[in-house]
Protein backbone atom coordinates (compact mmCIF):
# COMPACT_ATOMS: atom_id res chain seq x y z
CA UNK A 1 0.00 0.00 0.00
CA UNK A 2 1.29 3.43 -0.88
CA UNK A 3 2.16 5.92 1.82
CA UNK A 4 -0.18 8.90 2.05
CA UNK A 5 0.89 11.90 0.00
CA UNK A 6 1.67 13.94 3.13
CA UNK A 7 4.24 11.30 4.14
CA UNK A 8 5.72 10.93 0.69
CA UNK A 9 6.57 14.61 0.33
CA UNK A 10 7.47 15.27 3.97
CA UNK A 11 10.52 17.62 3.96
CA UNK A 12 13.83 16.07 4.99
CA UNK A 13 15.84 19.28 5.43
CA UNK A 14 15.40 22.89 6.48
CA UNK A 15 15.87 23.98 2.85
CA UNK A 16 12.69 22.10 1.89
CA UNK A 17 10.70 23.23 4.91
CA UNK A 18 7.91 25.65 4.01
CA UNK A 19 6.94 28.55 6.33
CA UNK A 20 8.04 29.30 9.94
CA UNK A 21 10.86 31.52 8.72
CA UNK A 22 11.08 33.14 12.15
CA UNK A 23 12.33 29.76 13.40
CA UNK A 24 14.02 28.06 10.45
CA UNK A 25 14.87 30.87 8.03
CA UNK A 26 18.47 31.86 7.40
CA UNK A 27 18.54 33.88 10.62
CA UNK A 28 15.92 31.81 12.47
CA UNK A 29 16.60 30.86 16.06
CA UNK A 30 16.34 27.10 15.43
CA UNK A 31 18.58 27.42 12.40
CA UNK A 32 21.21 29.03 14.61
CA UNK A 33 20.83 26.31 17.25
CA UNK A 34 21.40 23.61 14.63
CA UNK A 35 24.43 25.39 13.14
CA UNK A 36 25.99 25.70 16.60
CA UNK A 37 25.15 22.11 17.46
CA UNK A 38 23.34 23.21 20.62
CA UNK A 39 19.75 21.99 20.74
CA UNK A 40 17.83 22.93 23.90
CA UNK A 41 14.82 21.00 25.13
CA UNK A 42 11.85 22.70 23.53
CA UNK A 43 8.10 22.72 23.04
CA UNK A 44 6.67 23.33 19.56
CA UNK A 45 3.25 24.93 19.96
CA UNK A 46 0.84 25.53 17.11
CA UNK A 47 -2.29 24.37 15.26
CA UNK A 48 -2.49 20.85 13.81
CA UNK A 49 -0.91 20.02 10.48
CA UNK A 50 1.67 22.81 10.36
CA UNK A 51 4.82 20.69 10.52
CA UNK A 52 5.69 20.18 14.19
CA UNK A 53 6.59 16.50 13.76
CA UNK A 54 8.41 17.23 10.51
CA UNK A 55 10.45 19.97 12.17
CA UNK A 56 11.43 17.66 15.04
CA UNK A 57 12.68 15.06 12.55
CA UNK A 58 14.64 17.68 10.62
CA UNK A 59 16.26 19.00 13.80
CA UNK A 60 17.39 15.45 14.68
CA UNK A 61 18.65 14.74 11.14
CA UNK A 62 20.55 17.98 10.67
CA UNK A 63 22.08 17.89 14.15
CA UNK A 64 22.97 14.18 13.63
CA UNK A 65 21.40 12.97 16.84
CA UNK A 66 19.67 9.67 17.68
CA UNK A 67 15.92 10.15 17.49
CA UNK A 68 13.26 8.50 19.64
CA UNK A 69 9.57 9.21 19.39
CA UNK A 70 6.52 8.61 21.56
CA UNK A 71 2.87 9.49 21.15
CA UNK A 72 1.21 10.80 24.29
CA UNK A 73 -2.03 9.14 23.18
CA UNK A 74 -0.68 5.59 23.40
CA UNK A 75 2.34 5.82 25.74
CA UNK A 76 2.53 5.50 29.52
CA UNK A 77 5.16 6.07 32.19
CA UNK A 78 6.64 2.63 31.46
CA UNK A 79 7.12 3.51 27.78
CA UNK A 80 8.78 6.80 28.71
CA UNK A 81 11.24 5.09 31.04
CA UNK A 82 12.06 2.41 28.48
CA UNK A 83 12.87 5.01 25.84
CA UNK A 84 14.95 7.03 28.31
CA UNK A 85 16.93 3.88 29.20
CA UNK A 86 17.59 3.23 25.49
CA UNK A 87 18.63 6.83 24.99
CA UNK A 88 21.05 6.68 27.93
CA UNK A 89 22.65 3.52 26.51
CA UNK A 90 22.92 4.90 22.99
CA UNK A 91 24.43 8.21 24.12
CA UNK A 92 28.17 7.84 23.90
CA UNK A 93 28.12 4.65 21.82
CA UNK A 94 27.80 6.32 18.44
CA UNK A 95 27.78 10.04 19.27
CA UNK A 96 28.58 12.46 22.06
CA UNK A 97 25.39 14.40 21.30
CA UNK A 98 22.28 13.95 23.41
CA UNK A 99 19.59 11.81 21.80
CA UNK A 100 16.35 13.62 20.97
CA UNK A 101 13.11 12.33 22.47
CA UNK A 102 10.11 13.61 20.53
CA UNK A 103 6.70 13.42 22.21
CA UNK A 104 3.73 14.18 20.01
CA UNK A 105 0.70 15.76 21.71
CA UNK A 106 2.61 16.19 24.95
CA UNK A 107 -0.38 18.07 26.39
CA UNK A 108 -2.12 14.68 26.69
CA UNK A 109 0.51 13.41 29.12
CA UNK A 110 -0.66 13.25 32.73
CA UNK A 111 1.30 14.94 35.52
CA UNK A 112 2.95 11.65 36.48
CA UNK A 113 3.97 11.00 32.88
CA UNK A 114 5.46 14.47 32.59
CA UNK A 115 7.19 14.03 35.96
CA UNK A 116 8.90 10.91 34.59
CA UNK A 117 10.65 13.10 32.00
CA UNK A 118 12.12 15.61 34.44
CA UNK A 119 15.23 13.73 35.52
CA UNK A 120 16.24 12.79 31.98
CA UNK A 121 15.82 16.35 30.74
CA UNK A 122 17.54 17.93 33.74
CA UNK A 123 20.54 15.57 33.59
CA UNK A 124 20.88 15.84 29.84
CA UNK A 125 20.22 12.20 29.06
CA UNK A 126 17.81 13.34 26.37
CA UNK A 127 16.88 16.56 24.61
CA UNK A 128 13.12 16.75 24.75
CA UNK A 129 11.06 18.07 21.86
CA UNK A 130 7.36 18.18 22.64
CA UNK A 131 4.60 19.06 20.18
CA UNK A 132 1.28 20.50 21.30
CA UNK A 133 -1.78 22.20 19.89
CA UNK A 134 -2.71 23.49 23.35
CA UNK A 135 -1.25 26.35 25.36
CA UNK A 136 1.73 24.77 27.19
CA UNK A 137 1.25 27.21 30.08
CA UNK A 138 -1.87 25.24 30.96
CA UNK A 139 -0.98 21.74 29.78
CA UNK A 140 2.72 21.27 30.66
CA UNK A 141 3.72 21.09 34.32
CA UNK A 142 5.73 24.13 35.50
CA UNK A 143 8.83 22.10 36.41
CA UNK A 144 9.09 20.66 32.90
CA UNK A 145 8.07 23.88 31.17
CA UNK A 146 10.82 25.79 32.98
CA UNK A 147 13.40 23.43 31.46
CA UNK A 148 12.15 23.94 27.89
CA UNK A 149 12.11 26.75 25.38
CA UNK A 150 8.67 27.32 23.86
CA UNK A 151 8.52 28.09 20.14
CA UNK A 152 5.27 29.10 18.44
CA UNK A 153 4.56 27.80 14.95
CA UNK A 154 2.25 30.01 12.92
CA UNK A 155 -0.62 28.81 10.76
CA UNK A 156 0.16 28.36 7.09
CA UNK A 157 -1.01 31.20 4.88
CA UNK A 158 -2.57 30.57 1.48
CA UNK A 159 0.72 30.96 -0.38
CA UNK A 160 2.35 28.32 1.84
CA UNK A 161 -0.45 25.85 1.18
CA UNK A 162 -0.40 26.45 -2.57
CA UNK A 163 3.36 25.89 -2.50
CA UNK A 164 2.75 22.52 -0.82
CA UNK A 165 0.29 21.54 -3.53
CA UNK A 166 2.72 22.60 -6.24
CA UNK A 167 5.49 20.58 -4.62
CA UNK A 168 3.24 17.52 -4.72
CA UNK A 169 2.37 18.13 -8.38
CA UNK A 170 6.01 18.64 -9.36
CA UNK A 171 7.93 16.23 -7.15
CA UNK A 172 5.80 13.36 -5.89
CA UNK A 173 6.55 10.18 -7.84
CA UNK A 174 2.87 9.27 -8.17
CA UNK A 175 1.11 12.63 -8.42
CA UNK A 176 3.64 14.03 -10.89
CA UNK A 177 2.63 11.32 -13.39
CA UNK A 178 -0.90 12.72 -13.53
CA UNK A 179 -2.19 15.62 -15.62
CA UNK A 180 -3.43 18.10 -13.04
CA UNK A 181 -4.85 21.58 -13.57
CA UNK A 182 -5.05 23.62 -10.39
CA UNK A 183 -7.76 26.04 -11.54
CA UNK A 184 -9.18 27.14 -8.18
CA UNK A 185 -7.96 26.69 -4.61
CA UNK A 186 -10.37 28.61 -2.35
CA UNK A 187 -12.48 25.56 -1.50
CA UNK A 188 -9.36 23.50 -0.79
CA UNK A 189 -8.17 26.16 1.62
CA UNK A 190 -11.58 26.25 3.29
CA UNK A 191 -12.07 22.51 3.85
CA UNK A 192 -8.49 21.94 5.00
CA UNK A 193 -8.67 24.73 7.59
CA UNK A 194 -4.97 25.53 7.22
CA UNK A 195 -3.97 21.95 8.10
CA UNK A 196 -1.32 20.91 5.58
CA UNK A 197 -1.75 17.19 6.25
CA UNK A 198 -5.50 17.45 5.72
CA UNK A 199 -4.98 19.54 2.60
CA UNK A 200 -2.68 16.95 1.02
CA UNK A 201 -4.94 14.04 1.98
CA UNK A 202 -7.94 15.79 0.37
CA UNK A 203 -5.88 16.68 -2.68
CA UNK A 204 -4.79 13.06 -3.11
CA UNK A 205 -8.42 11.93 -2.78
CA UNK A 206 -9.45 14.39 -5.50
CA UNK A 207 -6.70 13.27 -7.85
CA UNK A 208 -7.51 9.59 -7.32
CA UNK A 209 -11.22 10.22 -7.91
CA UNK A 210 -10.83 11.54 -11.44
CA UNK A 211 -9.38 10.58 -14.79
CA UNK A 212 -6.86 12.84 -16.49
CA UNK A 213 -6.94 15.71 -16.87
CA UNK A 214 -7.79 16.38 -13.21
CA UNK A 215 -9.31 19.85 -12.97
CA UNK A 216 -9.28 21.14 -9.39
CA UNK A 217 -12.16 23.61 -9.10
CA UNK A 218 -14.09 24.85 -6.08
CA UNK A 219 -17.25 22.99 -7.13
CA UNK A 220 -15.31 19.73 -7.63
CA UNK A 221 -13.70 20.01 -4.20
CA UNK A 222 -16.99 20.70 -2.40
CA UNK A 223 -18.74 17.87 -4.25
CA UNK A 224 -16.13 15.29 -3.20
CA UNK A 225 -15.58 16.31 0.43
CA UNK A 226 -19.01 17.64 1.37
CA UNK A 227 -19.68 14.80 3.82
CA UNK A 228 -16.38 15.28 5.61
CA UNK A 229 -16.97 18.99 6.27
CA UNK A 230 -20.26 18.26 8.05
CA UNK A 231 -18.47 16.48 10.89
CA UNK A 232 -16.98 18.13 13.94
CA UNK A 233 -13.19 18.02 13.73
CA UNK A 234 -11.77 18.95 17.11
CA UNK A 235 -8.37 19.73 15.60
CA UNK A 236 -9.50 21.49 12.43
CA UNK A 237 -11.62 24.37 11.15
CA UNK A 238 -14.80 23.15 12.87
CA UNK A 239 -12.95 23.32 16.20
CA UNK A 240 -12.55 27.07 15.82
CA UNK A 241 -15.93 27.74 14.18
CA UNK A 242 -17.97 25.93 16.83
CA UNK A 243 -16.15 27.38 19.83
CA UNK A 244 -16.71 30.78 18.18
CA UNK A 245 -20.45 30.08 17.84
CA UNK A 246 -20.54 28.88 21.47
CA UNK A 247 -18.86 32.01 22.82
CA UNK A 248 -20.96 34.34 20.68
CA UNK A 249 -24.15 32.61 21.81
CA UNK A 250 -23.26 33.17 25.47
CA UNK A 251 -22.22 36.77 24.76
CA UNK A 252 -25.56 37.21 23.01
CA UNK A 253 -27.43 35.89 26.10
CA UNK A 254 -28.90 32.83 24.34
CA UNK A 255 -28.58 29.81 26.68
CA UNK A 256 -30.40 27.56 24.18
CA UNK A 257 -27.83 28.10 21.44
CA UNK A 258 -25.04 27.91 24.03
CA UNK A 259 -25.96 24.40 25.20
CA UNK A 260 -26.49 23.28 21.59
CA UNK A 261 -22.94 24.27 20.57
CA UNK A 262 -21.67 22.83 23.85
CA UNK A 263 -23.32 19.52 22.97
CA UNK A 264 -21.71 19.60 19.51
CA UNK A 265 -18.28 19.94 21.11
CA UNK A 266 -18.90 17.27 23.73
CA UNK A 267 -20.21 14.79 21.16
CA UNK A 268 -17.20 15.57 18.99
CA UNK A 269 -14.80 14.66 21.80
CA UNK A 270 -13.56 18.19 22.50
CA UNK A 271 -11.24 18.61 25.50
CA UNK A 272 -13.45 19.74 28.40
CA UNK A 273 -10.63 21.83 29.84
CA UNK A 274 -10.40 23.75 26.56
CA UNK A 275 -14.10 24.60 26.81
CA UNK A 276 -13.81 25.56 30.47
CA UNK A 277 -10.83 27.84 29.83
CA UNK A 278 -12.83 29.75 27.23
CA UNK A 279 -15.66 30.15 29.75
CA UNK A 280 -13.23 31.68 32.26
CA UNK A 281 -12.04 34.18 29.68
CA UNK A 282 -15.60 35.04 28.63
CA UNK A 283 -16.73 35.53 32.22
CA UNK A 284 -14.24 38.37 32.58
CA UNK A 285 -14.26 39.75 29.04
CA UNK A 286 -18.01 39.81 28.39
CA UNK A 287 -19.61 39.86 31.86
CA UNK A 288 -17.00 41.40 34.11
CA UNK A 289 -18.28 43.56 36.92
CA UNK A 290 -21.86 43.39 35.70
CA UNK A 291 -21.81 40.12 37.67
CA UNK A 292 -18.44 39.32 39.31
CA UNK A 293 -19.80 35.95 40.48
CA UNK A 294 -19.59 34.79 36.86
CA UNK A 295 -15.80 34.68 36.99
CA UNK A 296 -15.89 32.77 40.27
CA UNK A 297 -18.28 30.17 38.84
CA UNK A 298 -16.30 29.87 35.61
CA UNK A 299 -13.03 29.39 37.47
CA UNK A 300 -14.63 26.79 39.73
CA UNK A 301 -15.98 25.09 36.61
CA UNK A 302 -12.45 24.81 35.21
CA UNK A 303 -11.20 23.33 38.48
CA UNK A 304 -14.12 20.91 38.65
CA UNK A 305 -13.86 19.53 35.11
CA UNK A 306 -10.09 19.14 35.56
CA UNK A 307 -10.83 16.76 38.43
CA UNK A 308 -14.07 15.12 37.26
CA UNK A 309 -13.39 14.48 33.58
CA UNK A 310 -15.90 12.87 31.21
CA UNK A 311 -18.78 12.15 31.08
CA UNK A 312 -19.97 14.09 34.14
CA UNK A 313 -18.14 17.29 33.14
CA UNK A 314 -20.90 17.95 30.62
CA UNK A 315 -23.29 18.74 33.49
CA UNK A 316 -20.91 21.23 35.08
CA UNK A 317 -20.14 22.89 31.75
CA UNK A 318 -23.85 23.15 30.95
CA UNK A 319 -24.60 24.79 34.30
CA UNK A 320 -21.83 27.33 33.77
CA UNK A 321 -22.75 28.07 30.15
CA UNK A 322 -26.41 28.64 31.04
CA UNK A 323 -25.47 30.89 33.96
CA UNK A 324 -23.09 33.00 31.86
CA UNK A 325 -25.57 33.27 28.99
CA UNK A 326 -28.30 34.37 31.41
CA UNK A 327 -26.10 36.93 33.17
CA UNK A 328 -26.00 40.70 32.50
CA UNK A 329 -23.10 41.66 30.23
CA UNK A 330 -20.34 44.25 30.35
CA UNK A 331 -17.03 44.54 28.53
CA UNK A 332 -16.05 47.76 30.35
CA UNK A 333 -13.02 46.23 32.12
CA UNK A 334 -11.90 44.55 28.87
CA UNK A 335 -12.11 47.88 27.04
CA UNK A 336 -10.32 49.67 29.90
CA UNK A 337 -7.21 47.48 29.74
CA UNK A 338 -7.19 47.80 25.94
CA UNK A 339 -7.22 51.60 26.19
CA UNK A 340 -4.57 51.50 28.90
CA UNK A 341 -2.23 49.31 26.84
CA UNK A 342 -2.69 51.55 23.81
CA UNK A 343 -1.87 54.57 25.97
CA UNK A 344 1.28 52.89 27.32
CA UNK A 345 2.45 52.12 23.78
CA UNK A 346 1.77 55.71 22.75
CA UNK A 347 3.35 57.49 25.74
CA UNK A 348 6.13 55.06 26.71
CA UNK A 349 7.57 54.64 30.21
CA UNK A 350 6.27 57.70 32.01
CA UNK A 351 7.79 58.41 35.40
CA UNK A 352 5.90 57.42 38.52
CA UNK A 353 4.88 60.60 40.43
CA UNK A 354 7.16 61.17 43.42
CA UNK A 355 4.39 61.01 45.99
CA UNK A 356 3.45 57.49 44.80
CA UNK A 357 6.96 56.05 44.92
CA UNK A 358 8.11 53.60 47.54
CA UNK A 359 10.72 54.95 49.99
CA UNK A 360 12.32 52.06 51.89
CA UNK A 361 15.74 53.79 52.31
CA UNK A 362 16.91 57.12 53.73
CA UNK A 363 18.29 58.17 50.35
CA UNK A 364 14.91 57.67 48.73
CA UNK A 365 13.25 59.70 51.46
CA UNK A 366 15.83 62.44 50.98
CA UNK A 367 14.91 62.44 47.29
CA UNK A 368 11.29 63.02 48.40
CA UNK A 369 10.04 59.62 47.34
CA UNK A 370 6.59 59.22 48.89
CA UNK A 371 6.44 62.83 50.11
CA UNK A 372 2.92 64.30 50.35
CA UNK A 373 1.24 60.96 49.69
CA UNK A 374 -2.20 60.90 51.30
CA UNK A 375 -3.07 57.61 52.97
CA UNK A 376 -6.71 57.12 51.99
CA UNK A 377 -7.78 55.47 55.25
CA UNK A 378 -6.81 58.55 57.22
CA UNK A 379 -9.53 60.56 55.50
CA UNK A 380 -13.30 60.68 55.60
CA UNK A 381 -14.96 57.88 53.61
CA UNK A 382 -11.48 56.37 53.16
CA UNK A 383 -10.81 58.70 50.25
CA UNK A 384 -8.33 61.50 49.56
CA UNK A 385 -8.37 63.29 46.24
CA UNK A 386 -4.92 63.20 44.67
CA UNK A 387 -3.33 62.40 41.31
CA UNK A 388 -2.45 58.76 40.64
CA UNK A 389 -1.45 59.05 36.98
CA UNK A 390 1.75 60.55 35.51
CA UNK A 391 1.45 64.30 34.93
CA UNK A 392 1.34 64.10 31.13
CA UNK A 393 -1.74 61.86 31.14
CA UNK A 394 -3.48 63.18 34.26
CA UNK A 395 -7.29 63.17 34.20
CA UNK A 396 -7.35 60.41 31.54
CA UNK A 397 -10.43 58.21 31.96
CA UNK A 398 -9.80 54.63 30.89
CA UNK A 399 -12.62 52.81 32.70
CA UNK A 400 -16.17 53.75 31.77
CA UNK A 401 -18.67 51.64 33.78
CA UNK A 402 -21.08 49.57 31.77
CA UNK A 403 -24.80 50.25 31.64
CA UNK A 404 -26.05 47.64 34.09
CA UNK A 405 -27.32 47.83 37.64
CA UNK A 406 -24.10 46.86 39.36
CA UNK A 407 -21.83 49.12 37.31
CA UNK A 408 -24.36 51.95 37.55
CA UNK A 409 -23.65 51.76 41.27
CA UNK A 410 -19.93 51.93 40.44
CA UNK A 411 -20.57 55.01 38.31
CA UNK A 412 -22.47 56.77 41.10
CA UNK A 413 -19.79 55.87 43.65
CA UNK A 414 -16.93 57.12 41.43
CA UNK A 415 -18.81 60.27 40.40
CA UNK A 416 -19.37 61.22 44.03
CA UNK A 417 -15.69 60.73 44.81
CA UNK A 418 -14.11 62.32 41.77
CA UNK A 419 -16.78 64.95 41.06
CA UNK A 420 -16.00 66.21 37.56
CA UNK A 421 -12.39 65.01 37.32
CA UNK A 422 -13.18 61.92 35.26
CA UNK A 423 -16.66 62.92 34.03
CA UNK A 424 -18.40 59.77 35.27
In a domain, 250, yes or no: yes
Residue 95 has pLDDT above 80, yes or no: no
The rounded radius of gyration (Å) of the Cα atoms in the chain is 28
Q: Are 301 and 312 in contact (CB under 8 A)?
A: no
Last residue of a domain, one of 188, 207, 229: 229
Task: Let me know whether 250 and 211 are in one domain.
Answer: no
Task: Let me know whether 61 and 134 are in one domain.
Answer: yes
Segment 158-207, tens digit of pLDDT: 888 999 999 999 988 898 888 998 989 888 888 887 788 888 988 988 88
In a domain, 335, yes or no: no
Q: What is the mean pLDDT of residues 23-46?
A: 89
Task: Let me know whether 127 and 29 are in one domain.
Answer: yes
Q: Indicate the pLDDT class of residue 112, thresholds 50, 70 and 90.
A: confident
Number of domains forming the structure of the chain: 4
Segment 383-403, tens digit of pLDDT: 988 989 998 999 899 999 999
Q: What is the mean pLDDT of residues 203-218?
A: 88
The pLDDT value recorded for residue 211 is 87
The pLDDT value recorded for residue 65 is 85
The pLDDT value recorded for residue 230 is 41
Residue 286 has pLDDT above 80, yes or no: yes
Residue 87 sits in a domain whose CATH number is 3.40.50.300
Q: Are 171 and 9 in contact (CB under 8 A)?
A: yes
Last residue of a domain, one of 325, 360, 389: 325
In a domain, 338, yes or no: no
Answer with the residue of higher pLDDT: 216 or 96. Answer: 216
In a domain, 62, yes or no: yes
Q: Are 172 and 64 in contact (CB under 8 A)?
A: no
Residue 178 sits in a domain whose CATH number is 1.10.8.60
Instruction: For the beta carbon of residue 226, count every other beta carbon within 10 angstroms.
Output: 10
Residue 231 has pLDDT above 60, yes or no: no
Segment 362-376, tens digit of pLDDT: 887 888 888 889 999
Alpha-carbon distances, residue 20 vs 13, 26, 51, 373 (angstroms): 13, 11, 9, 51
Q: What is the mean pLDDT of residues 107-122?
A: 85
Task: Let me know whether 300 and 200 are in one domain.
Answer: no
Task: Let me know whether 122 and 195 are in one domain.
Answer: no
Of 88-102, 174-188, 213-227, 367-381, the least confident: 88-102
Residue 421 has pLDDT above 80, yes or no: yes
Q: Which residues, listed in sequence order, are joined to residue 103 by a DSSP beta bridge?
A: 70, 130
Task: Let me know whether 360 and 387 are in one domain.
Answer: yes
In a domain, 315, yes or no: yes
Task: Let me know whether 275 and 291 are in one domain.
Answer: yes
Instruction: For the beta carbon of residue 14, count every other beta carbon within 10 angstroms.
Output: 20
Q: Indicate the pLDDT class of residue 228, thresholds 50, 70 and 90.
A: very low
Residue 246 has pLDDT above 90, yes or no: yes
The pLDDT value recorded for residue 90 is 67
Q: What is the mean pLDDT of residues 341-345?
A: 91
With vertex at residue 284, the alpha carbon angle to CA 281 and CA 285, rounded to the nearest 5 degrees, is: 80
DSSP H or E stretch at residue 215: strand 214-216
Residue 296 sits in a domain whose CATH number is 1.20.272.10
Domain extent, residue 34, equals 20-152
Task: Let me know whether 197 and 93 are in one domain.
Answer: no
Task: Let me know whether 148 and 162 are in one domain.
Answer: no
Residue 96 has pLDDT above 60, yes or no: no
In a domain, 42, yes or no: yes
The pLDDT value recorded for residue 119 is 86
Residue 410 has pLDDT above 60, yes or no: yes
Q: Pseudo-torsion of CA 395, 398, 404, 405, nearest 10°? A: -50
Average pLDDT of every residue of the chain: 87
Task: Let me know whether 44 and 136 are in one domain.
Answer: yes
The pLDDT value recorded for residue 92 is 53
Task: Let me know whether 186 and 88 are in one domain.
Answer: no
DSSP string, 243-296: HHHHHHHHHTT-HHHHHHHHHHHHHTT--HHHHHHHHHHHIIIIIGGG-THHHH
Answer with the residue of higher pLDDT: 142 or 225. Answer: 142
DSSP string, 20-59: -HHHHSTT-HHHHHHHHT----EEEE--TTSSHHHHHHHH
Q: Indicate the pLDDT class of residue 252, thresholds 50, 70 and 90.
A: very high
CA atoms within 13 A on the CB side of 126: 29
Residue 257 has pLDDT above 60, yes or no: yes
Residue 393 sits in a domain whose CATH number is 1.10.3710
Segment 118-143, tens digit of pLDDT: 888 888 888 999 999 888 887 888 99
Residue 84 has pLDDT above 70, yes or no: yes
Answer with the residue of higher pLDDT: 139 or 293. Answer: 293
Residue 57 has pLDDT above 80, yes or no: yes
In a domain, 390, yes or no: yes
Cβ contacts of 149 within 8 Å, gap of 6 or more? 40, 41, 42, 43
Nearest CA-CA partner of 127 in 54, 46, 48, 37? 37
Task: Let me know whether 183 and 268 are in one domain.
Answer: no
In a domain, 6, yes or no: no
Residue 1 has pLDDT above 70, yes or no: no
Residue 244 has pLDDT above 80, yes or no: yes
Last residue of a domain, one of 135, 152, 169: 152
Amino acid sequence: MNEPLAERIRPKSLDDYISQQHLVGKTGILTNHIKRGIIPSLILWGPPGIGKTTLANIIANESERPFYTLSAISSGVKDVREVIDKAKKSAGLFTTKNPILFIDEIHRFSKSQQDSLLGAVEKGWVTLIGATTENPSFEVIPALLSRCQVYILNSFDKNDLIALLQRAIDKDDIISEREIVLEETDALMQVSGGDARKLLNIFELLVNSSDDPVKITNSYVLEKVQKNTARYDKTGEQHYDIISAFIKSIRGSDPNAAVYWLARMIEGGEDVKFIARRLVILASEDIGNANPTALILANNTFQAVSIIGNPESRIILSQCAVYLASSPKSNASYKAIGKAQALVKETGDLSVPLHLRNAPTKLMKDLEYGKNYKYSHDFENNFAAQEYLPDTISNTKLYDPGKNSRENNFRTFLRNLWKKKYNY
